[in-house]
Amino acid sequence: MAVADVIAALQQQFPELGLAPRPLVTYADGRDSGQLCVSVPGGRLLDVCRFLRDDPRCRFEQLSDLTCVDYLNYPDQEWIAGRFGVTYSLLSLTHNHRLWLKVFVDDPEPTVPSVTGIWKGADWTEREVYDMFGVRFSGHPDLRRILMPDGFVDHPLRKDYPLRGKGEREAFQVITRDSA
C-alpha cells in the first residue's frame, strides 16, 4: 500500500474536508522530497488521527514526532491558514510509509486538541510545543512547561521573541557549585 492509497482513503472518509496533499518540502530548484503533508482543520484532527491509526488501509501506529513552525512573516503564504503550523509525523510500521499532518492555528490563543488519547507518545512533545511556541493542547493530561522554568512567561521559539531574550536571565537565581 502506498501513501497515495492513504490519501485516497482519507479523501473517501472525509470528503467534506477537501484534503489535498502537498509536498512536505519543496527545494529551490522546484523538486519535492516525495513526502506528503495534509492540512487538517483543528476541529477534525482527532477524527482524522483515529482513522489514520485504526483503518487497515492506513495503520499509522506511531506518532514519530510532533513539532511546530511559526510562519510569522513567511514569504509564500497562500497555503498557510494561521501563524502556527502544528506538524504531526506519522509512521505506519505495518505498511512502511509516512505521512505528515499539519494543523494551522492563530493568535491570540492558539489551541489544538491533544492526541495523547490516540498516541501516548504525544505527551512530552505536546508539552514541548506548548513551552516553546505557546500552542495549547486541549484535553492534555498534564500541560505544563517541560524545558523552561516555571516562572518563564514567554515562548522562545516564536519568531517575534528577541534573539537576546527579554532580560529573564537577570532575574534567575545564580546556582553555584556550593549552593547546589
Mean pLDDT for each consecutive 10-residue tract of the chain (180 residues)?
A: 87 93 83 87 97 96 97 84 95 94 95 98 97 97 92 89 69 76
Distance CA 171, CA 10 (A): 50
Residue 179 lies in a domain: no
* Residue 135 domain boundaries: 3-171
Q: Specify the CATH number for the domain of residue 95.
A: 3.30.460.80
63-75 exposure pattern, b = at least 16 Cβ within 10 A, e = fewer: beebebbbbeeee
Number of domains in the chain: 1
Q: Report phi then psi at 150, rounded to 5.
A: -55, -35
Q: What is the amino acid identity at position 96?
A: N
